[in-house]
């Protein structure tokens, strides 16, 4: 049955009962009204008529007595007037005879007696006074008829009075019965209403409540729940729809869970397959993924199913990188060996370049960080071998080459004899090539020493302005040759910096050398120094030269790198690599900014001198 059917079924009997009660009430009221009306109409009028008739009769009788006393005139007058009243009252009674045969008989008797009394009265007044005593007191005379009429009128009065009492009693009975009937009907209505409410509760509210509770539980994630289906009404269909929806949700969750599990397994298998240590942590440093290499190298606790994620405490060499990635959302991508971290594995030192990247959701929300340690032990070894080899070869080449240079110089000075123009030309070219080769060898040796950390620095407090001045003085003659302005733009009162003035001077010389080489005639080279926010001092060498294309900028500090298309310019591609090594040896850093056609700027940031540091 539908919900509408249920409601109709519950309400209809109640409505019918109320209709019956209303109908019965109206009928009873009507009946009571009619009965009261009948009492008034039939009986009360008769009672009053008999009282009136009795009074008129008494006065008619008095008129005979007046006549007997000789008051003829007043007697006749009273006789005539009271007969009128008498007839009026008799007429009321005649029209008001009830259905009772007894009253009909009495009225008929009263009519007969009235005719007789009237005839006797008329005879009384027609007779002379001496006969009147007999007419009045005689056997079956006026007095006798008077008494008879009084008796019959009293009987009619009593019958009607009795009937009034009966009718009143009946009305009271009816009212009592009505009250009982209504009370019963009311009680029945209450019982019916309570039954209807209980039934509706069981058939409608109960199932709705069950569906609501199940829906709430399903909403809270208990997808295994099934909503009970009772009947095929609207609530039943709703419950069925809910069950279908839950079934689909279950399937969806199942497939989602499987997909997630699969994705997790794939991710784990992927990072497990890397030989390099890989660790993925959340924002609080808890380990989400860690491959076996990470577990064995760093002792990272692997995530276990059903257990809360363990927090990873990175080793000292990685702590800052991980913090930077998590707090500042900054990737830390190390490239040079001097940024490498060394760990001892199976009794041997292994070198790793840490790569720490913050991880983000597609919406840009930070999830944590991924740490990859690139094992560069082999490359470092190769690099050392190469440096050693270069150093050895350079060293071996330097001595003979120095003698060649000396020989060429001696020949060119014509100490051993005059030279032909052609010989002179060849020897000049040989001197230039020898100079270039020697410079290259010196640079290679310097670089190898710096890379190996063999160059012992003698760190002293140095006034930055002095450094800039010395570098400018060294470059002055070359700059003048090219008609370049060399300007020193230092800030007075700078704190001393902690540097080896010879080594740093060499670095500044290299930068100035490049600035002069790559700046057109008439340009300007500026040297400056200033204190920066973190308390360090920044030395800047900038020029108004040809600049460096954007794509070459990241490589200018690489060894042997030269900007393509500038082969006619002198150079080895080692100058900036040496500068960088010198700056790193001073625990400083160097950056290059350039705009092709407008100039290039190098900033070297160095720590200030601190007593006892
Ligand atoms: P090089 O011996 O060739 O100068 P460097 O390592 O000193 O080698 O410089 C690498 C390259 O960077 C150079 O070949 C040059 O093209 C470019 N470079 C360096 N300094 C400047 C500068 N101040 N202006 C323009 N280009 C420069």
Question: Quick one: tokens of 538?
Answer: 């920044």
Q: Which atom of ligand 1 is nearest the CA belonging to 541?
A: 23
Q: What is the mean pLDDT of residues 199-213?
A: 80
381: helix, coil or strand?
Answer: helix
CA–centroid distance, 460 to ligand 1, in Å, is 29
Q: Which atom of ligand 1 is nearest the CA belonging to 566?
A: 16
Taking 3-state DSSP, the helix, strand and coil percentages for the chain, each rounded to the nearest 5, stand at 60, 15, 25
Q: Is the pLDDT of residue 13 over 70?
A: yes
Question: How far is the C-alpha of 497 from the C-alpha of 488, rounded, in Å?
Answer: 18
**What pLDDT digit, counting tens, does each position of 512-556 carry?**
999 999 999 999 999 999 999 989 999 999 999 999 999 999 999
CA–centroid distance, 518 to ligand 1, in Å, is 7
**What pLDDT digit, counting tens, does each position of 148-161 carry?**
999 999 999 998 88
- Predicted local confidence at residue 613, as pLDDT: 63
- Predicted local confidence at residue 545, as pLDDT: 96
Q: Is the pLDDT of residue 363 over 80?
A: yes
CA–centroid distance, 488 to ligand 1, in Å, is 21
The beta strands (E) that lie in 25-150 are given as none
Which of 436, 576, 580 best tests ligand 1's pocket when mutated (most atoms within 8 Å of CB)? Answer: 576
- Predicted local confidence at residue 225, as pLDDT: 79
Question: Quick one: tokens of 362?
Answer: 């597609």
Residue nearest to atom 11 of ligand 1 (CA): 562
Q: Is the pLDDT of residue 302 over 80?
A: no
Question: How far is the C-alpha of 270 from the C-alpha of 186, rounded, in Å?
Answer: 81
Query: Which residue ranges have their beta carbon within 6 Å of ligand 1?
Result: 514-515, 518, 543, 545-548, 556, 561-563, 566, 571-577, 600
**Two domains, one topology: 3-194 and 460-606:** no
- Predicted local confidence at residue 182, as pLDDT: 85
Q: How many CB atoms lie within 10 A of CB 430?
A: 16
Spatial contact of 504 and 577, defined as CB atoms under 8 Å apart: no
| 188 to 12, 253, 273, 425: CA distances (angstroms) | 14, 55, 83, 138
Residue nearest to atom 20 of ligand 1 (CA): 514
Residue nearest to atom 19 of ligand 1 (CA): 514
Question: How far is the C-alpha of 425 from the C-alpha of 418, rounded, in Å?
Answer: 13
CA–centroid distance, 557 to ligand 1, in Å, is 9
The beta strands (E) that lie in 286-365 are given as 287-290, 332-333, 341-345, 348-360
Residue nearest to atom 13 of ligand 1 (CA): 562
Question: How far is the C-alpha of 525 from the C-alpha of 545, rounded, in Å?
Answer: 9
Q: What is the mean pLDDT of residues 378-407?
A: 89
- Predicted local confidence at residue 229, as pLDDT: 79
Q: What is the mean pLDDT of residues 353-382?
A: 91
Residue nearest to atom 25 of ligand 1 (CA): 547
Instruction: Check residue 545 and report its DSSP letter.
Output: S
Which of 442, 508, 562 best tests ligand 1's pocket when mutated (most atoms within 8 Å of CB)? Answer: 562
Query: Residue written as tokens 């969750």?
Result: 253
**What pLDDT digit, counting tens, does each position of 45-91 carry?**
889 999 999 999 999 999 999 999 989 888 999 999 999 999 999 99
The CATH class for the domain spanning 460-606 reads alpha beta
- Predicted local confidence at residue 454, as pLDDT: 67
Question: Which residue, 402, 423, 429, 401, is CA-closest to 411?
Answer: 423
CA–centroid distance, 556 to ligand 1, in Å, is 7
Spatial contact of 200 and 235, defined as CB atoms under 8 Å apart: no
Question: Which residue, 338, 303, 286, is CA-closest to 317?
Answer: 338
**What pLDDT digit, counting tens, does each position of 231-256 carry?**
777 778 888 888 888 889 888 888 88
Return the percentage of the chain with pLDDT > 90, whole number. 45
Question: How far is the C-alpha of 206 from the C-alpha of 202, rounded, in Å?
Answer: 5
Spatial contact of 93 and 106, defined as CB atoms under 8 Å apart: no
Which of 441, 447, 478, 518 best tests ligand 1's pocket when mutated (most atoms within 8 Å of CB)? Answer: 518
Q: What is the mean pLDDT of residues 347-374?
A: 90
CA–centroid distance, 398 to ligand 1, in Å, is 25
| 141 to 69, 81, 135, 138: CA distances (angstroms) | 17, 21, 5, 5
Residues counted in the chain: 613
Q: What is the mean pLDDT of residues 300-313?
A: 78
Q: Is 503 left (phi over 0), alpha (psi -120 to 50) or beta?
A: alpha
Average pLDDT along the chain: 88
For residues 275 and 455, which has the higher predicted lDDT (pLDDT)? Answer: 275
Q: What is the mean pLDDT of residues 564-580?
A: 89
Would you list the domain boundaries of the chain? Answer: 3-194, 223-273, 275-375, 382-452, 460-606
Topology annotation, domain 3-194: 1.20.120
Which of 441, 571, 598, 602 best tests ligand 1's pocket when mutated (most atoms within 8 Å of CB)? Answer: 571
CA–centroid distance, 462 to ligand 1, in Å, is 27
Spatial contact of 24 and 181, defined as CB atoms under 8 Å apart: yes
- Predicted local confidence at residue 45, as pLDDT: 87
Q: What CATH superfamily classification does 275-375 receive?
A: PAS domain (3.30.450.20)
pLDDT category at 338 given cuts 50, 70, 90 is confident
- Predicted local confidence at residue 325, as pLDDT: 87
| 429 to 436, 464, 567: CA distances (angstroms) | 11, 40, 18
Buried-exposed string 561-582: b where 16+ CB fall within 10 A, e elsewhere: ebbeeeeeeebbbbbbbbbbbb
CA–centroid distance, 469 to ligand 1, in Å, is 22
């Amino acid at each position: 049955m539908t919900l509408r059917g249920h409601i109709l079924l519950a309400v209809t009997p109640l409505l019918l009962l109320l209709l019956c009660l209303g109908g019965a009430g109206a009928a009873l009221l009507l009946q009571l009204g009619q009965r009261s009306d009948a009492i008034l109409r039939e009986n009360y009028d008769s009672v009053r008529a008999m009282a009136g008739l009795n009074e008129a009769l008494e006065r008619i009788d008095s008129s005979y007595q007046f006549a007997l006393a000789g008051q003829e005139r007043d007697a006749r007058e009273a006789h005539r007037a009271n007969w009128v009243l008498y007839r009026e009252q008799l007429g009321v009674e005649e029209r008001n005879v009830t259905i009772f045969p007894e009253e009909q008989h009495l009225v008929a008797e009263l009519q007969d007696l009235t005719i007789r009394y009237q005839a006797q009265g008329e005879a009384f007044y027609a007779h002379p006074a001496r006969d009147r005593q007999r007419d009045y007191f005689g056997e079956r005379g006026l007095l006798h008829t008077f008494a008879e009429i009084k008796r019959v009128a009293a009987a009619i009065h009593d019958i009607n009075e009795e009937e009034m009492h009966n009718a009143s009693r009946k009305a009271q009975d009816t009212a009592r019965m009505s009250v009982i009937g209504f009370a019963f009907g009311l009680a029945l209505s209450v019982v019916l209403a309570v039954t209807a409410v209980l039934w509706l509760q069981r058939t409608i509210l109960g199932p709705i409540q069950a569906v609501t509770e199940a829906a709430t539980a399903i909403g809270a994630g208990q997808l295994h729940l099934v909503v009970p289906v009772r009947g095929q009404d609207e609530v039943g269909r709703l419950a069925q729809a809910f069950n279908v929806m839950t079934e689909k949700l279950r399937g969806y969750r199942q497939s989602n869970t499987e997909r997630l599990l699969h994705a997790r397994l794939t991710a784990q298998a992927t990072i497990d397959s890397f030989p390099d240590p890989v660790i993925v942590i959340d924002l609080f440093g808890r380990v989400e993924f860690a491959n076996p290499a990470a577990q064995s190298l760093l002792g990272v606790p692997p995530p276990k199913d059903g257990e809360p994620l363990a927090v990873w405490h990175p080793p000292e060499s990685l702590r800052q990188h991980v913090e930077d990635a998590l707090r500042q959302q900054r990737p830390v991508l190390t490239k040079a060996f001097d940024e490498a971290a060394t760990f001892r594995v199976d009794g041997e030192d292994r070198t790793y370049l840490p790569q720490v990247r913050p991880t983000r959701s597609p919406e840009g929300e930070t999830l944590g960080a991924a740490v990859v340690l690139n094992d560069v032990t082999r490359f470092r070894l190769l690099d050392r071998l190469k440096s050693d080899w270069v150093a050895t070869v350079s060293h071996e080449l330097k001595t003979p080459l120095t003698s060649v240079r000396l020989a060429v110089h001696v020949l060119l000075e014509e100490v051993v004899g005059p030279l032909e123009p052609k010989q002179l030309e060849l020897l000049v070219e040989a001197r230039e090539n020898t100079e270039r080769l020697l410079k290259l060898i010196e640079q290679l040796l310097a670089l190898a020493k710096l890379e190996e950390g063999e160059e012992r620095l003698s760190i002293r407090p140095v006034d930055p302005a002095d450094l800039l001045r010395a570098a400018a003085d060294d470059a002055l003659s070359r700059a003048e040759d090219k008609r370049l302005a060399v300007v020193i733009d230092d800030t007075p009162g700078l704190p001393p910096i902690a540097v080896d003035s010879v080594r740093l001077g060499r670095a500044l010389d290299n930068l100035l050398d490049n600035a002069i080489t790559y700046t057109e005639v008439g340009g300007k080279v500026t040297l400056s120094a200033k204190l920066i926010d973190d308390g360090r001092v920044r030395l800047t060498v900038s020029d108004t030269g040809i600049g460096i294309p954007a794509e070459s900028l990241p490589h200018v500090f690489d060894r042997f790198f030269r900007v393509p298309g500038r082969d006619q310019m002198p150079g080895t591609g080692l100058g900036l690599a040496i500068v960088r090594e010198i700056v790193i040896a001073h625990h400083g850093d160097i950056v290059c900014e350039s705009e092709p056609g407008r100039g290039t700027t190098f900033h070297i940031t160095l720590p200030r001198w601190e007593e006892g540091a």
